[in-house]
């Protein structure tokens, strides 16, 4: 009986590891970077260095463990909103696509940094 439980636990651990790896590999980095560049996001943001806007690495750290992170970032990149740059309020650009899969991929890319 104990051998069966151990075997089942090992199989479950392997399955969860495979699912987690697939989720991480599911981010299309080239597609996300293309969307970032096409929408001029890299003018104010960088993957790892602060510019006028925060680095995506900082954004990922800020939202780590936040179950609502994806929802918040989707809203941030798709709906007009104001951000503060050098003490002044400016309108944050939005991505020029309504393809939810591309937007989710972009957000997953940012959160995976």
Q: 10-residue block means of pLDDT along the chain (113 residues)?
A: 64 55 73 97 96 97 98 98 94 96 98 97
Q: If we measure between CA atoms, which residue out of 80, 93, 91, 95 comes closest to residue 38?
A: 95
Stated as kind and residue range, the H or E segment containing 31 is: helix 29-38
- Start-to-end C-alpha separation, the chain: 43
How many structural domains are present in the chain? Answer: 1
pLDDT of residue 63: 98
Structural domain includes residue 60 = yes
pLDDT at residue number 106: 98
* CATH number of the CATH domain containing 71: 1.10.760.10
Range of the domain at 73: 28-111
How far is residue 111's CA from residue 68's CA, in Å, rounded to a whole number? Answer: 12
Report yes or no on 40 lying in a domain: yes
According to the model, what pLDDT value does residue 6 have? 61
Which pLDDT belongs to residue 21? Answer: 46
**pLDDT value at position 15?**
57
């Amino acid at each position: 009986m104990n051998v069966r439980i151990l075997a089942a636990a090992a199989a479950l651990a392997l399955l969860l590891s495979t699912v987690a790896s697939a989720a991480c590999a599911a981010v299309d980095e080239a597609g996300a970077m293309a969307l970032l560049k096409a929408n001029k996001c890299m003018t104010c943001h960088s993957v790892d260095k602060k510019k006028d806007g925060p680095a995506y690495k900082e954004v990922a750290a800020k939202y780590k463990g936040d179950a609502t992170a994806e929802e918040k970032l989707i809203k941030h990149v798709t709906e007009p909103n104001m951000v503060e740059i050098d003490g002044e309020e400016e309108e944050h650009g939005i991505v020029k696509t309504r393809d939810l899969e591309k937007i989710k991929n972009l957000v997953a890319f940012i959160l995976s940094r």
